[in-house]
Structure formats: C-alpha cells, structure tokens
Structure 1
C-alpha cells in the first residue's frame, strides 16, 4: 500500500460563533472590529480534498466562472488554458463533440505541463478541463457569438425556439502512482440542463443585453449568473452546469481519478 498524504483540519467554531460571524446573531462582545475580514466557512474535510491540498492542481480553462465555482473545494488552482484550437466537426453528435473537446483540452494541458516540468516545479496532481455548448431544439451546436450581429441572431433564435439544452463536459485527470499505461487516470462526464427562455422577451431587451457585452465569451451568448438571467424563464437541472461547470459532478470525478488507485490496490489485496 502507498502512504497517502493528508492534512488534519481544525475543529469548526461553535454554531453561535459562526452565526455571529455571518451576521445572523449579534456578537456576544459587541460589534466586530472595523476592517475585520468577512466570515469564511471552514474547508470541506474530505479525504480526497485533503490529499490534494498543497499540491499542484491545474484548471485547463481561462473562465473566471469555472474558477469561482471550484473555489469552495479549497484547492490551490493554477490556471492554464489549452492553446489547441477547438476544431472538431459540428456534424458530430453534440454529446460526443463536447466530451471530446473537454478530453482534448485536458490531455493537451497535462502534456504541456509534463514537457515544461522542472525540478523546482512538481508535476500536476490533477488537471480539470471543461467545455460547454448550447444545443438548439433543431440540434444546432452553439458556442460563443462571433460578432454583434451573430449575437443578436443567436439570442433571438433561442427566444423564438423557447427551449434549448446546455451540455457541459468535464474531464479530470490524475497521474498514476504506478507505471501502468497510459500513466494517468482520466474520467469524463456530460451534464445536461434544459433552459427555457421567456418567449415574451422583447427585441429591445435583447439588443440592450448584447450591448452590455456580458455574453460575448459564453456559449449561447448569455450568462445565467448575470444580466442574462433576464432572458430566462426557468431551468431544469444544474445552474452550475449552465454557468460552466457542474460542481457536484466534478467532485465525483475527482474522487474517482484520485482514489481509483487505492480502490484497485484494495481489490488486488483481496484477491491475494
């Protein structure tokens, strides 16, 4: 068995103390001192996250939204987006297209990290990548708008069709501790969320939204977490998925690739 690194997390504060920090209860000894930092919850005390803390974890995406979604995991995230072109054929099945794009990004960033490794910089312990697409109810794949005219046409089409699907694929890679080919574990998932646009959204609102430029870097041309929510009537599924990264599914993949070696070792020992 290999020895695993872990960090002991301190005991959390009492509920009264934590509630006072949040502002739900008055502080017992008067108001907090001026300039005091806002309350921050304790880190999640999970074996897989404790094992990764202090190690090199790469997010293969320049998206600030994905970094923000991953922040609650408490990992030291290094941002290294893939430089490979996203040039897969749009004739592919949407699920295959988004999954293969995420895998391509993940492997590219991992390979570059290994090629550029130095003695002073450890190899990455984890690489996370993702790709998000919008699929219209006619099966057309939408990514980011290419121009203002394209942006306007895209949002008006989504409004007129009313329903569309958002797919985000996540790929998570961790190097293996043994020499078994290909030298890493990689797992993927594709999450789906149904988005319903408000069919009563006016052209005027769409035009005003496009001029904010909030949606220029987002699949489908809108941001659910921002002013783009004005265009949306409801969603069915994960909001994180539409924003760019389904956190619960990502954590499950992290556990699978990082703890996978342990499970295999346990199975091998059971067979001995």
Structure 2
C-alpha cells in the first residue's frame, strides 16, 4: 500500500496544495486577498458572464471575494419608484426584482457579449422604526444632517437588503429563466451620545452621501454606531453568505435539462412577478 498523502486522502490524481498558513507578504499599497473558493458552482461560473446589476463599489468589492473574474458591472435603468406605503420587505424586494429583470431583458439577447450565465441585483433600505419611514440616500446636506439626527434620536433602526438572482434555464422552457431572492435584516443601534457637531462633521466628509440611511458602517460611519445585531455586510449592502447560497440555489434551478416539466422546481412563487 502506498503511504503517500494522496493515497491516504483517497485522491487518485494530484491536486494543487492549499495555501500555507504562513501569512503572505503584503503587497505595497494593497491588502492581501483570499484565494478563490473552490466550489463547483463558482468554478463553473469563472469562465462565464456574471453581471452585477449595481454600480455600488461596496457591492462590487464584497462580491469580488468569491473570485469570479468575469463580473461585469451593468447598473439597472429601472425606475426606483415603488410606493413607500409598501412594507420595507415588499419595497426592497420589489426594487431589487425590477433591477434584475431590467438587466436580464437587456442582456439576454446581447449578440456581442453573449448570454449571461448569472445576473445579481440588490437593493438596501434603512428603516427608522420610531417614525415608520423608509430611508434611502440623502438628497442634500440639510436632509443628510436631519436623517442622521433622527436615527440617533431613535437609537434603533433596521437595515434590509434584498438580493435577486436570475439565470437562463438550460432547457429554455418558459419562462426561460430561474429567479431566486432573499431579504436579509440587520438591527442597528446608534450611539445616543453622538453630538450634532460630530454629525455635521461626518456629513461634510460626504462618505454617506451615496448610501441608504446616510452612513457607511465600513468606514467613518462606524463612529456613529453603538452595536449591530446581524451581519455587517448586510448593512454595507451585500451579505456575502446569503449571496453565495442564492447563487447555488438559482444555478441548480437553471440546470434543468434532466428534469421533468412538472418537477416542483418549476413551480414559481405566486408573488414572484408581483413587482
């Protein structure tokens, strides 16, 4: 019997060894990045078109951790005009769904670039529980200051991020695509001792000007926050664990050539196209 490590592990063919536990030498001006996950679904997508229907640099950075080299950034042109009378769950999911569908319809027949293998869209909103209002991006400096003061005075608020994934069905059966979605929720508590002076100074950095709720947890905005209950990357705008699970689910549904038409996998949710 061979006493080689490959034989002991039951590997017939040699494989690349995993990275060493010795910390890599940092590259000047850049933080070290983890090696790509060797999951089958990610390996299959690495040579295909994957579209992120968002221009958010935070979402682009977070999804880059999955090691997909062909991610294209194609922001949706869908209007984000759903009524604020919807529940936060309905509002954020409806908006993300509209984004995904708009980019899918635009790119599915792209003769130059080819059919996309996966489209991901996301939307994030902050909800002031005390006032019962859905907050998106601040419209002006005065609005920005008012928004952060209200969050401080209320202390607790919620952040909802909806993720929607679409992939063409291998069989091309109607409706032609698989679509899956998930909504993540995180509770955030602001520090009640944050002063108006600090809020104004933060607003004038403009870090939070393009962010729902007007602050960035991953940056200077963390000085406004006392604690969170839930995932931090959900507050930033793209929960990575939920994203990976969503990709695995939608790609499994899209690979439908060997399934019967009456397979439960084809049963669409009743409200999937409600938005």
The TM-score range, normalised by the shorter chain, is: 0.7 to 0.9
**Shift in CA distance, 264/233, structure 1 to aligned 2, threshold 3 Å:** farther
- Aligned residue pairs, count: 248
Q: Does 1:128 align with 2:133?
A: no
Match of 1:66 in 2: 59
For normalisation by structure 1, the TM-score amounts to 0.85
Tell me if 1:11 matches 2:16. yes
Tell me which stretches of 4 or more aligned residues in structure 1 moved more than 6 Å.
34-38
Unmatched runs of 5 consecutive residues or more in structure 2: 1-12, 264-275
**Where in structure 2 are the equivalents of 1:227-242 lying within 5 Å?**
227-242=220-235
Tell me the SS of whatever aligns to 2:258. Answer: helix
Contact conserved, 2:35 with 2:67, CA < 8 A, in 1? Answer: no
Following superposition, the deviation at residue 179 of structure 1 comes to 2.4
Tell me, yes or no, if structure 1 residue 167 matches structure 2 residue 160.
yes
Question: In the TM superposition, what is the alpha-carbon distance from 1:84 to its structure 2 partner?
Answer: 1.7
Specify the SS of the correspondent of 1:212.
coil
1:253 aligned counterpart, secondary structure: helix
State whether residues 177 and 254 of structure 2, in contact with CA within 8 Å, keep that contact through their aligned partners in structure 1. no
2: distance between equivalents of 1:64 and 1:47? 27
Answering whether residue 220 of structure 2 is matched by residue 211 of structure 1, we say no
TM-score with structure 2 length normalisation?
A: 0.84
Offset, 1:42? 2.4
Describe the shift of the 1:260–1:201 C-alpha distance in structure 2 as closer, same or farther (beyond 3 A). Answer: same
Select which of 94, 101, 114 maps to 1:107.
101
Q: CA–CA distance in 1 between the matches of 2:253 and 2:115?
A: 19
Q: Which residue of 2 aligns with 1:254?
A: 247
TM-aligned CA deviation for residue 263 of structure 1: 7.2
Q: Give the aligned partner of residue 178 of structure 1.
A: 171
1:31 corresponds to? none
- Higher helix residue share: 1
1:39 CA drift (Å) = 5.0
CA distance in 2 between counterparts of 1:261 and 1:114 reads 14
CA RMSD of aligned residues (A): 2.4
**CA deviation after TM superposition for structure 1 residue 261, in Å:** 4.2
Deviation of 1:85 (Å): 1.6
Q: Quote the Cα distance in structure 2 between the aligned partners of 1:150 and 1:74.
A: 38
Does residue 245 in structure 1 map to residue 243 in structure 2? no
In the aligned structure 2, how far is the partner of 1:107 from the partner of 1:10?
A: 40
